[in-house]
């Protein structure tokens, strides 16, 4: 195991004493101890949360070793001194590491170094101040199960008797002092600034609040989740589009951006008349586990708010999949929390209720669609939104459902599109009476949406421009923490990369974390202190805690794809220069050569049927130079690399290409070749329900990225696709004459990839992508002019 803690803050001795005192480890009592061993004994007894009598305490401590041949309890009673060896042998046991498995009992410091645990370097005899500093450091150090030792104590009830009048901060982070029975569950209805169902009235949306019982004004974690009130999975499956359709010829045109630029139109609708005020909610919601990061913060003195927004169960409006109306509704909740908008106790009586429990500060959380709405809200510049934690989040819906003039499936969801997602999340349909009233209007909207999103051409148009949040990046005032999986082919890395580029010059704080996973949350990983990072971040953002988080946390953290449990700080991602590789008969080389190579797109019906059923088999066969698809691809490789390479940024491909028809598409994959045990992109569950989120509270599975036990011959690094009729832009159609060569530039998905020495870098060119593009199985041949074709790979 290797521990990676970025949010463990070094503090001076005065701070050590002050913060230990506020959680019950009294420095005065320690200083008055008869010796250092006695002081250590007092600290340990206080950490035995559920053991109160002296004899039992010594017995429990005797389950631990102080030296290879002395039990801890007896040692502390009979000795006066503590040194580094004794203390860190005890520490490894307290942190739940196993003797003779994780460490050697006669050499604890080697284990501390190997596991990457912080320790006091002093080797001479310790004094009481050394002990206090070491104890403080221990409390902020992670156990084998991925939480700080202080969290481990809190989960046993360490903070049961402490005051809950306000959040408690230790080492710059909020601590789990609250209990589940301290929570209040309320439901209110926020009036928005949109009328998406066109009934002439401002849409009212249901908002569910969970908050600790305290008089202190709370900061709020807000998650806008269209899924939270239920989904229509069967309806979505019925609406899924057929992708076995031919690529359509597009009439050449000279469309410019101004022709398709979205212009927001003003709305006219009525708002409610307040008929009275209430200081308490009259509706309540049932407790249920949510996003576990939010659940983690409920015990730490934050309110958590969920809203499914417009078009969902018990709310007005319709689902619009990323439109301005959805953004307006999302922002309305922030404005209510920030005391600048009305909410009501129910849907009918117009009794207004204020967020009088709120300090007005909001952080938005959530992954995928949830993080997408955080992006959307941030681009409005709404007051009160202090930060967003944007996890695997869309920054432009075109980059989710389209690519360079092609219909493009998010990974694993062939045939899904904006209309399908709108139907799936239209949970108003789950209330039959409400569905009777609204369904005809929504069905008409879906029909219009299907036309506007345009699966025929795949082009960028006004529909997609409305759903491009990057158009409004300059409005962002909130600080931004981006989290993105480098193997996420659902919400692809381009969404995070272009958001990161767009905010780079804004006067806000911004940080990015790149992990090696797919479309996942990363808040329950053993090797990485993500929860601590977010805790430090929002403690500063929502409670103005002066914890130096902006200096403490690197601007960029990247997980290595070769070494397990390795996370490093990096200076840059997208601004690296590239190495040019030319395409020729012998692979990827430093020099160009003349010649042409051809590949075909059509498969016989048996092969086509096989790959339709199993796109995973197609993806595996595609990377095999001598496999069943060798006529349907061109594969180029470098020689074995003589040294490690870090590919960092957007790989780019320039081709001179001709097609046998007046339609065509180019697909390309960048590949790591070489037999190796690679890091799994799906995390392994180490301990089911092994991560406790608070005392007698919810749990999460403890997970980690592990090495595949079986070697694999290759791994896709990145990919790109383009319609050959969209050589200049995704909204302009170019002419495509059969057998005529055209220059085309294709930008791949951005990556950060460690390619070890001894491996080969590969490039695969092909047409139809069975996992992502439409599958027309057309008889099209593609020819590459090698002399004018090259790959540019960004290296650190």
Q: Give domain status of residue 473, yes or no.
A: no
Give how many domains the chain has, as a whole number.
2
Using an 8 Å Cβ cutoff, are 60 and 48 in contact? Answer: yes
Tell me which of 196, 308, 323, 368 is the catalytic residue: 368
What was the pLDDT predicted at 474? 98
What was the pLDDT predicted at 796? 86
Of 553, 542, 380, 379, nearest to 481 by C-alpha is: 553
What was the pLDDT predicted at 586? 85
Tell me which of 488, 672, 700, 785 is the catalytic residue: 488
Tell me which of 142, 152, 324, 519 is the catalytic residue: 519
Q: Give domain status of residue 741, yes or no.
A: yes
| 783 class by beta-carbon count within 10 Å (0-12 exposed, 13-18 middle, 19+ buried) | middle
Q: Give domain status of residue 83, yes or no.
A: yes
pLDDT mean for each 10 residues of the chain (796 residues): 98 98 97 97 97 93 97 95 97 98 98 98 95 99 98 97 94 98 97 98 99 97 98 97 98 98 95 97 95 97 98 98 98 99 98 99 98 99 99 99 98 95 98 98 98 98 99 99 98 99 98 98 97 99 98 98 98 89 95 96 97 96 96 98 97 98 99 98 96 97 96 98 99 99 98 98 98 97 98 95
Rounded-to-10 torsion of CA 105, 106, 112, 118: 100
Q: Could you give the C-alpha distances from 249 to 179, 244, 303, 406, 730, in angstroms and in order?
A: 63, 16, 53, 12, 15
The residue among 151, 174, 197 that closes a domain is 174
Strand partners, 793: 579
The residue among 136, 153, 174 that closes a domain is 174
What is the C-alpha to C-alpha distance for residues 523 and 532, in angstroms, rounded to an integer?
9
What is the C-alpha to C-alpha distance for residues 230 and 223, in angstroms, rounded to an integer?
15
Q: Could you give the C-alpha distances from 489 to 4, 749, 769, in angstroms and in order?
A: 26, 9, 13
Token pair listed for 306: 């969920």
**645-649 vs 751-755, strand pairing mode:** antiparallel
Q: What is the CATH number of the domain that holds 755?
A: 2.60.120.260
Check if 316 is active-site: no
Quote the crossing angle between the two packed helices 36-47 and 84-94, to the nearest 10°: 10
What is the C-alpha to C-alpha distance for residues 221 and 212, in angstroms, rounded to an integer?
13
Strand partners, 211: 184
Q: Give domain status of residue 750, yes or no.
A: yes
What was the pLDDT predicted at 494? 99
| Strand intervals (E) in 546-698 | 556-559, 567-569, 578-584, 587-589, 596-600, 634-637, 645-649, 652-659, 665-676, 684-692
Domain span holding position 53: 13-174
Using an 8 Å Cβ cutoff, are 675 and 260 in contact? Answer: no
What was the pLDDT predicted at 578? 86
Q: Give domain status of residue 446, yes or no.
A: no
Token pair listed for 21: 């005192």
Q: Give domain status of residue 233, yes or no.
A: no
Strand partners, 721: 667
Using an 8 Å Cβ cutoff, are 650 and 486 in contact? Answer: no
Check if 710 is active-site: no
Of 290, 294, 313, nearest to 189 by C-alpha is: 313
- Total-model pTM: 0.97
What is the C-alpha to C-alpha distance for residues 658 and 731, in angstroms, rounded to an integer?
21
| 434 class by beta-carbon count within 10 Å (0-12 exposed, 13-18 middle, 19+ buried) | middle
Q: Could you give the C-alpha distances from 212 to 25, 152, 219, 299, 366, in angstroms and in order?
A: 25, 21, 11, 8, 21
- Give CB contacts under 8 A, 24+ apart, made by 200-203: 200/269, 200/270, 201/269, 201/270, 201/271, 201/272, 201/316, 202/269, 202/270, 202/271, 202/272, 203/310, 203/315, 203/316, 203/317, 203/329
Using an 8 Å Cβ cutoff, are 633 and 765 in contact? Answer: yes
The residue among 118, 143, 174 that closes a domain is 174
Q: Give domain status of residue 784, yes or no.
A: yes
Check if 33 is active-site: no
Q: Give domain status of residue 788, yes or no.
A: yes
Token pair listed for 190: 């926020």
């Amino acid at each position: 195991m290797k521990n990676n803690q970025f949010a463990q803050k070094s503090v001076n001795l005065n701070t050590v004493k002050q913060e230990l005192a506020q959680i019950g480890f009294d420095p005065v009592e320690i200083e008055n101890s008869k010796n250092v061993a006695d002081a250590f004994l007092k600290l340990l007894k206080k950490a035995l949360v559920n053991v109160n009598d002296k004899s039992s305490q010594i017995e429990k401590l005797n389950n631990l070793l102080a030296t290879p041949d002395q039990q801890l309890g007896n040692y502390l009673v009979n000795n006066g001194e503590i040194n580094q060896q004794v203390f860190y042998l005890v520490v490894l046991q307290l942190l739940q590491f196993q003797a003779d498995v994780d460490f050697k009992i006669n050499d604890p410091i080697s284990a501390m170094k190997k596991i990457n645990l912080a320790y006091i370097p002093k080797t001479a005899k310790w004094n009481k101040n050394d002990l206090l500093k070491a104890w403080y450091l221990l409390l902020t150090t992670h156990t084998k199960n991925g939480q700080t030792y202080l969290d481990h104590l809190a989960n046993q009830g360490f903070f049961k008797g402490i005051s809950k009048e306000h959040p408690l901060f230790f080492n710059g982070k909020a601590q789990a002092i609250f209990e589940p029975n301290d929570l209040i569950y309320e439901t209110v209805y926020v009036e928005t600034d949109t009328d998406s169902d066109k009934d002439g009235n401002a849409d009212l949306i249901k908002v569910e609040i969970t908050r600790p019982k305290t008089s202190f004004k709370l900061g709020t974690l807000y998650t806008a989740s269209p899924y939270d009130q239920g989904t229509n999975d069967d309806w979505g499956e019925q609406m899924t589009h057929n992708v076995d359709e031919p690529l359509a010829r597009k009439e050449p045109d000279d469309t410019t951006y101004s022709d398709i630029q979205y212009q927001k139109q003003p709305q006219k609708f009525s708002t409610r008349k307040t008929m009275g005020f209430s200081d308490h909610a009259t509706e309540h919601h049932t407790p249920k586990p949510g996003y576990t990061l939010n659940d983690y913060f409920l015990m730490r003195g934050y309110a958590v708010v969920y809203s499914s927004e417009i078009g969902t169960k018990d709310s007005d409006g319709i689902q619009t999949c990323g439109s301005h109306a959805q953004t307006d509704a999302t922002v309305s909740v922030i404005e209510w929390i920030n005391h600048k908008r009305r909410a009501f106790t129910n849907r009918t009586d117009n009794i207004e209720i204020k967020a009088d429990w709120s300090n007005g500060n909001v952080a938005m959380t959530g992954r995928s669609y949830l993080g997408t709405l955080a992006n959307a809200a941030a681009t409005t510049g709404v007051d009160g939104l202090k930060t967003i934690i944007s996890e695997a989040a869309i920054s432009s819906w075109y980059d989710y459902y389209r690519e360079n003039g092609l219909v493009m499936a998010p990974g694993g969801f062939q045939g899904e599109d904006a209309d399908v997602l709108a139907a799936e999340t239209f949970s108003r349909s789950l209330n039959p009476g409400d569905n009777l009233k609204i369904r005809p209007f929504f069905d008409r909207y879906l029909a219009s949406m299907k036309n506007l999103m345009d699966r025929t051409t795949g082009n960028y148009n006004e529909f997609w421009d409305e759903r491009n949040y990057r158009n409004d990046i300059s409005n962002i005032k909130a600080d931004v923490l981006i989290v993105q999986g480098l193997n996420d082919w659902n919400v692809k890395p381009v969404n995070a990369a272009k958001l990161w580029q767009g905010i780079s010059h804004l006067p806000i704080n911004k940080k990015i974390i790149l992990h090696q996973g797919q479309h996942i949350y990363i808040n329950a990983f053993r090797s990485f202190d993500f929860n601590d990072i977010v805790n430090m971040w929002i403690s500063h953002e929502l409670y103005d805690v002066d914890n130096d988080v902006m200096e403490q946390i690197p601007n960029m953290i990247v997980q290595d794809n070769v070494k397990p449990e390795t996370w490093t700080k990096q200076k840059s991602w997208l601004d690296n220069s590239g190495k040019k590789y030319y395409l020729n008969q012998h692979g990827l080389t430093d020099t160009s050569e003349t010649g042409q190579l051809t590949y075909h797109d059509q498969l016989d019906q048996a092969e086509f049927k096989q790959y339709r059923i199993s796109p995973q088999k197609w993806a595996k066969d595609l990377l095999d130079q001598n496999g069943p698809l060798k006529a349907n691809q061109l594969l180029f490789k470098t020689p074995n690399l003589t040294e490690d390479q870090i590919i960092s940024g957007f790989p780019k491909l320039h081709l001179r290409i001709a097609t046998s028809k007046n339609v065509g598409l180019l697909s390309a994959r960048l590949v790591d070749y070489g037999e190796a045990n690679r890091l799994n992109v799906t995390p392994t569950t180490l301990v089911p329900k092994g991560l406790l989120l608070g005392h007698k509270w919810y749990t999460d599975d403890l997970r980690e990225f592990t090495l595949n036990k079986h070697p694999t011959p290759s791994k896709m690094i990145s990919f790109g696709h383009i319609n050959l009729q969209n050589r200049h832009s995704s909204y302009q159609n170019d002419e495509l004459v059969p057998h005529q060569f055209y220059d085309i530039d294709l930008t791949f998905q951005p990556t950060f990839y460690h390619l070890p020495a001894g491996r080969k870098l590969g490039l695969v060119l092909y047409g139809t992508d069975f996992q992502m593009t439409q599958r027309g199985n057309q008889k099209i041949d593609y020819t590459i002019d090698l002399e004018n074709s090259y790959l540019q790979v960004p290296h650190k």
